[in-house]
Structure 1
């Protein structure tokens, strides 16, 4: 039998949940064939068979949590599809009654022999204990006190340089035993605390309990950690989208024909974010211990919503891409996320994140940081609102609220406000973005 173990996945991933077995017990598998899908904190990965043969045993079921190195199945290299497991089990059942037909007399004899051996062992132990007690050097008062307290003198360490046990040594031993007893009594009380916090609330009316997926658990943990481990603050501004919408309307057909991808709003905001990050580099940094690490690259994370939760694939070197390159990168990552084809490299190493709640109709929100990043830009729905123009006229303009959540430990309010203001200026004058490329 060959064991199939959970393989090494990545440095940051040590465990996962079995999402689906792709083969059944008794199926023929070949070395390298995918046999199950493992759900990790970030992506789903396939585990392959290490050897060819018949899947003889499945040790972990769907929904079970497993760690790297755990044995999850066994492969019979000499087995045949369909298995001979039933035959072997029949043989075991046939042999079992034969074993049960052992004569009663032999059983009694073996039992009596066992009892005699136990008695001999007890006698030897008691004799050894007596000898050890007699070998101990102790004052008469110490011996008397030890008998009163029920303490074995051989377990006491004497403070006397000559090794003689005195009454105070016996008292010290008694005190240490009492303290250990108290600790044992308190231990169960301390253990009960986490149980109380995890107790399930019972409801009078019907409810449905659904186990959180590993990814949802990870998302929940990371969001809570981000709020607990950073001084998060959010600042807001609003952007007049008139010129961007006009430019898109003028160029979208030619753009799609030339690059085979639609011209969306995200490329404009990505370009604007990169420009603003270059002017305010602390927002493109992170904290490591007592150091600030300023990143000289611009890998922009794009929050994508999937059925299993939010993922943030990264568009690499966004500062070196043109509008078409950014749009293609965003489209490819979104398709991968929805098709569960993202790799670990697609999700790691971002320096700044953009999330667009506007596609779901969100008017205003305070996005949570994607740790260890110290800045995240939130986009929202475009709505026509009355705006006072420079000539004091009032016009209905397509407006969008934008938000920047930042870590106040290294980013001051002045920088955050100016960063958001700079994005507003570039979006309201998008021709400069196009010229800068």
Structure 2
């Protein structure tokens, strides 16, 4: 028996499918219904399951490569079966694809498509991108040939059974062998290009395999102006973009912009955000704590929490902070209202909801009105310093830059690396002076470097020490008796034995520690598989048991409990793949040797 694996058609409009990865290696055994590979089309992701038991005998496509639907990509057959006929079938079909013919599995569905017709005609006429006379050509080699403008015809293949590989194409390009002299284009497109005086080499093709169509030629002709420039795109200056431009222009024409810069030690700010995130029922970020610090500085310097209109400087009691958000139409600043009255938990929750609504396009004009001060963060894009433009009629705006790590002298005259956060304060010099701005930034820096008073009382102060991950290096210390401590990076926990084994029962046994690692790994691996397949899975509980209760382990069992409405087949697949992907579980299946050494303390 045995069969040829082909690229599936994931939709009526699918033109090519990309191999995301093989689930099994070539030569490995696979069972009926088991996942063989994952593929992706222009609009969706699909799985290829084994139709019958066998071995993945051949693969013809590498991850990242794409081919039309219906193209052979592998062979599954019993280990001892003769697959000569299947290989011959694959080679014949690959030659058809190389010659520009649509795979048989999809020919009927695509026969009326203009792209396919133009592409096939083009390759027959020019030979560009085709290798009907040269044997098999790998998809990656074909793509590289198109990029380098290399004719595949005449290139001697060094791959499997004489196939042309990517290295063969690059070698030909370096020696100028097979350099394309013609552009892939339909006869009708060539005729139209002559009529309009369009150079086909400058036209981007949208037809089959990138061939130039008649519409491409006409579009190119329309995009060339009197100066010989080629238009790439027109973007009308209207709607939100026009409003943004008008307001920024007004700001620069009316306000007298001055920008001052300061830098704060940010270690305490990061530590405070982490500590709050661990305690509060909200996802707290550094930006949330920073907004409270800004509000505190505005409380001490109310002249900056203000607007200036009709020659009147209005100072507002409400701290309505605009939070700049970059959306497709431009930069907007939805307003987080009354920050001075809100807890950190409320600020964190409302800011996320506000930004999320802006990114989803679900905001209203009311969300953008009433701001008294704005915070804009380009640091997330790596910007180290900039001069933000005031959002009129406000009188000031705070820019947040990228975090920088700098050497700092410690109390013991040593040097330590610490994170610093730069700020840029732009203000209207008609309303406030440079000395006022300097005092505002001084207060803000004090709040950033000592943020703990901004947090709820139930958040314990942390020392700001960065967490050190174990990096798969764990140390167990046994000072005496049967108990000890396990240290892994910044983490540590105890281990012990039952009293009847000479211990004091102050911690789990070493076997219990191992069972905990196995259960944790299984839970994370199952979670990964569920998220990968967009399966709605809530809590995951894993219980691991070892028998007998004492002595050497003779039997292991694990029970995985999932909170989900997904069907049984989906959960069965998720659990099965989760167990296979669990690194701790893999240790139980592998013949893994232990290199044991010793040394004196």
Instruction: Normalising by structure 2, report the TM-score.
Output: 0.37
Report the CA distance shift for 1:202/1:308 in structure 2 as closer, same or farther (over 3 A).
farther
CA RMSD of aligned residues (A): 2.1
Aligned with residue 396 of structure 2, among 362, 368, 375: 375
Aligned with residue 271 of structure 1, among 292, 296, 321: 292
Of 385-394 and 395-404, the range deviating more from structure 2: 385-394
The answer for the alignment partner of 2:257 in structure 1 is 232
The answer for the alignment partner of 1:425 in structure 2 is 446
Task: Tell me the CA shift for residue 214 of structure 1.
Answer: 1.1
Matched, 1:223 2:248: yes
Task: Tell me the CA shift for residue 228 of structure 1.
Answer: 1.0
Matched, 1:405 2:426: yes
Partner deviation per Cα, 1:207-265 (whole Å, 9 max, x = no partner): 2222134111111121121111001100010111111222333342332xxx2x31111
The answer for the alignment partner of 1:174 in structure 2 is none
- Distance in 2 (CA, whole Å) between partners of 1:435 and 1:327 is 13
Alignment of 1:276-291 (within 5 A): 276-291=297-312
- Distance in 2 (CA, whole Å) between partners of 1:202 and 1:333 is 48
The answer for the alignment partner of 2:537 in structure 1 is none
The structure with more radius of gyration: 1
Structure 1 regions of 5+ residues with no counterpart? 1-200
Structure 2 regions of 5+ residues with no counterpart? 1-224, 460-601
Task: Tell me the CA shift for residue 330 of structure 1.
Answer: 1.0
Q: What secondary structure sits across from 1:381 in the alignment?
A: coil
The answer for the alignment partner of 1:250 in structure 2 is 275
- Distance in 2 (CA, whole Å) between partners of 1:391 and 1:220 is 53
- Distance in 2 (CA, whole Å) between partners of 1:359 and 1:343 is 25
The answer for the alignment partner of 1:304 in structure 2 is 325
- Distance in 2 (CA, whole Å) between partners of 1:435 and 1:292 is 34
Aligned with residue 229 of structure 2, among 187, 202, 205: 205
The answer for the alignment partner of 1:171 in structure 2 is none
Report the CA distance shift for 1:262/1:360 in structure 2 as closer, same or farther (over 3 A).
same
Report the CA distance shift for 1:423/1:206 in structure 2 as closer, same or farther (over 3 A).
same
Matched, 1:337 2:358: yes
Aligned with residue 239 of structure 2, among 207, 214, 217: 214
Partner deviation per Cα, 1:353-410 (whole Å, 9 max, x = no partner): 0111112221111110000000111111112112344665432111111111000011
Q: What secondary structure sits across from 2:362 in the alignment?
A: coil
Partner deviation per Cα, 1:241-291 (whole Å, 9 max, x = no partner): 111222333342332xxx2x3111122111111111111111112222232
Q: Give the number of aligned pairs.
A: 234
Contact 1:269/1:423 (CA < 8 Å) preserved in 2? no
Contact 1:375/1:406 (CA < 8 Å) preserved in 2? yes
Contact 2:400/2:421 (CA < 8 Å) preserved in 1? yes
Report the CA distance shift for 1:431/1:370 in structure 2 as closer, same or farther (over 3 A).
same
Contact 2:374/2:391 (CA < 8 Å) preserved in 1? yes
Report the CA distance shift for 1:293/1:204 in structure 2 as closer, same or farther (over 3 A).
same
Matched, 1:354 2:354: no
- Distance in 2 (CA, whole Å) between partners of 1:359 and 1:203 is 40
Alignment of 1:9-20 (within 5 A): none
- Distance in 2 (CA, whole Å) between partners of 1:358 and 1:428 is 18
Report the CA distance shift for 1:391/1:216 in structure 2 as closer, same or farther (over 3 A).
farther
- Distance in 2 (CA, whole Å) between partners of 1:202 and 1:419 is 55
Alignment of 1:26-425 (within 5 A): 203-208=227-232, 209-255=234-280, 259=281, 261-389=282-410, 392-425=413-446
**Structure with more helix by fraction:** 1
Q: What secondary structure sits across from 2:442 in the alignment?
A: helix
**Moved segments of 4+, more than 6 Å:** none
Report the CA distance shift for 1:425/1:316 in structure 2 as closer, same or farther (over 3 A).
same
Task: Tell me the CA shift for residue 435 of structure 1.
Answer: 5.6
- Distance in 2 (CA, whole Å) between partners of 1:368 and 1:394 is 37
- Distance in 2 (CA, whole Å) between partners of 1:341 and 1:202 is 43
Contact 2:344/2:456 (CA < 8 Å) preserved in 1? no
Partner deviation per Cα, 1:109-143 (whole Å, 9 max, x = no partner): xxxxxxxxxxxxxxxxxxxxxxxxxxxxxxxxxxx
